[in-house]
Amino acid sequence: MVPKPVWERPEVRTYDPNAKTDAPLPTDLPESAKTSSTVSGRWWKTEHAATARAQSGKKDAQQQDKAWKAREERRKREEAVKKLEREIKEEKIAEIERKKQINKERKEKEAEKLRLQQMAARMSAKKLQRMKKRLGRTKKVAG
């Protein structure tokens, strides 16, 4: 069987020819449009209230108190952890400073010892003894 060509088929109506498809006229606006209080004057825009971020009206006092206590407890724990971290950090810094000071003192002692050895090589033993004695008087060093 061969299908009939389109131009020979009977007309099939898939729509209602009596239906209105035009938009309503501006005089047929809804009631909300006539008493529009929007600043822009666009009647289809709705008024928005501020977002209620605090849900205090939805919880009773006991729930609010419980939530507050939980937050307070968490805040105290975090504060204690931060305090401990600060103390540990300060201890590390103090230890580093102490080691630096020890190294500095050791290097100064080595430099002084080297200087005395070089002086001793240049001078006689008696002169070195006199120098040590003199140094002992001024610096309170046993010689």
Rounded to two decimals, what is the model's pTM?
Answer: 0.39
- Give the pLDDT confidence of 8-42 residue by residue, as tens digits: 888 877 777 787 777 666 666 667 666 656 666 67
Q: In the chain, what percentage of residues exceed pLDDT 90?
A: 33
Cβ proximity of 47 and 38 under 8 Å = yes
Residue-range domain boundaries for the chain: 61-143
Cβ proximity of 55 and 63 under 8 Å = no
Chain centroid to CA 113: how far?
Answer: 53
